[in-house]
Every structure is written in C-alpha cells, then in structure tokens.
Structure 1
C-alpha cells in the first residue's frame, strides 16, 4: 500500500458519506462474501436529543452476499472524542466499548476481544478520500478476514 496519510483529527476526517466495499473470507471453509453499501458519519445525538460532544454516529447499510444469497445488512456505531486530541473511542450502538482509533500517523492497530474470539484490526489511510480496515478474527469457531475499503462520496 505504500505510505500512510496522517489524519490530525479522526472525527473531522470521517464526517460525511462513504461508499463501502467489504470482502469477507472464511479461511477455514474457503467461503467468500461481499458487502456493498454506504456509511454515513453524522452528528451524534445524546440520550437527551442534544449533540454529544462532537461525536459521530456511524450508520452503515447495504447488501451482503454470502454463498450466493443477498441480504440487507446494516450496523450502527458511535464514535466519541478520544483521550488525546484527534483520536476517537468507538462504541457499539448500545454503548459497549469496541475499540480506540488514532489515525495521527495514518495507521492504527487495535484489538477487540469478543467472547472466545479475538478481533485484530488494522486501519490505514491512503489519502483525503480513501481508507481501509482489515479485521482478522480468530476463535474456536471463526477464522475470518474482513477487508473494507471506504471512498468518500459527494
């Protein structure tokens, strides 16, 4: 991939609409799936309906094709300001912690333990309008690689 593109403020960088393409590979079975859709990072409202301290609501929707069957798919995450300027804390829609995110160097590695599985993530920024995540998921019943490419849209 080459050089990484440093991002001084991850929340400012992510704000807006992105085209999403994700491949899902099951390394154990050899099965492959594909998600295509959009992600919108918009203002995050707190429980009182007020904007929540500069956070972003991540809303992803699209179609996931697995073993030839297409299904609608969506997910929601909350991106909150992190402990250091320009960083974020990512939470699931229900508020549970997911991972931290610091793209000040253009690259970030993080882990998320989930039951018996471990999700190991790598985030890389290519330029002002393109970034990628690669999650390696390992556990007793999982051996997956999820690669997602994001491209900013107008």
Structure 2
C-alpha cells in the first residue's frame, strides 16, 4: 500500500472523461504535484487543459491529504470538506447524495491511477486519471 508521502514530487497527468449521459468524451492533460506540508499533510495540486465537447478550458484544483491520530489518511477538498479515505488498491466512496461515487487508487511510485465512477439522477460518468512520474 502506497501512502501519499510515497508519491511526493511532480507527475504528468492524463485524465479521460466519459460523460455517458451527454454522450461526450474529453481529456485533461497537465501536471500534478504532491508536496509535503509537515509530517501529517500532503498538498496535491493539479493544473492542465481540458478538451471537452470541442472546447478547450484551463482547469486546476487543490486537494489536501491528511493523516489523523489513528495514522489513517483522508483526502480533503480545498475548502476542508472530506472527499474520500486514502485506501490503496481497493474501492473508495465519496458521499454526495443523491449520486453515488466510487473510486480507486492503484499503481506504484512511477505510475499510478485514480478512477471515479459517478452514477445517479444527475450524473453518469467515468474519470480515469493516469499519473506518470515526471522525468528528473
């Protein structure tokens, strides 16, 4: 099981977006950087360009991964809300009723993936992110 501290550094990001409800596919290309903020926190910054439905748009987000007193890691949105537990190689969930989100984190220190499925009355899509370590 990899911890967020095992993945510190710069990554090349490629994310495919399959919006089944709209019948559209897109791609995000860019970078991700994981930076230690003390011993119990990792900042996860993403920046890139999304091409979707014939349009190109800059995109970015910041997540924070924090270790609690029980040594478990949790991913948080920039505003502090909990996104999901950091569980490597198994399914994770994000509570956002009325839609269901299930995801997974897997890979190694050179290449890892983040996958999300969202289904419900408002959404039906899949995000597949591949992160490859940037050349030194």
Structures share fold, TM-score greater than 0.5: yes
Any gaps of 5 or more consecutive residues in structure 2?
none
2:73 corresponds to: 88
Matched ranges for 1:66-81 at <5 A: 66-81=52-67
Describe the shift of the 1:54–1:31 C-alpha distance in structure 2 as closer, same or farther (beyond 3 A).
same
Q: Does 1:41 align with 2:21?
A: no
Structure having greater relative contact order (Cα 8 Å, sep ≥ 6): 1
Deviations 1:17-69 (A, max 9, x none): 1110000001123200100000111133xxxxxx4x43111110000111111
1:102 corresponds to: 87
Count of aligned residue pairs for this structure pair = 135
- TM-score normalised per structure 2: 0.91
Q: Which has the larger radius of gyration?
A: 1
Q: Give the superposed CA RMSD.
A: 1.6
CA distance in 1, matches of 2:119, 2:127: 11
> Is contact 1:25–1:32 with CA below 8 Å preserved after alignment?
yes
* Aligned counterpart for 1:114 among listed residues 66, 90, 96: 96
CA distance in 1, matches of 2:59, 2:78: 15
Runs of 4 or more above 3 Å deviation: 82-85
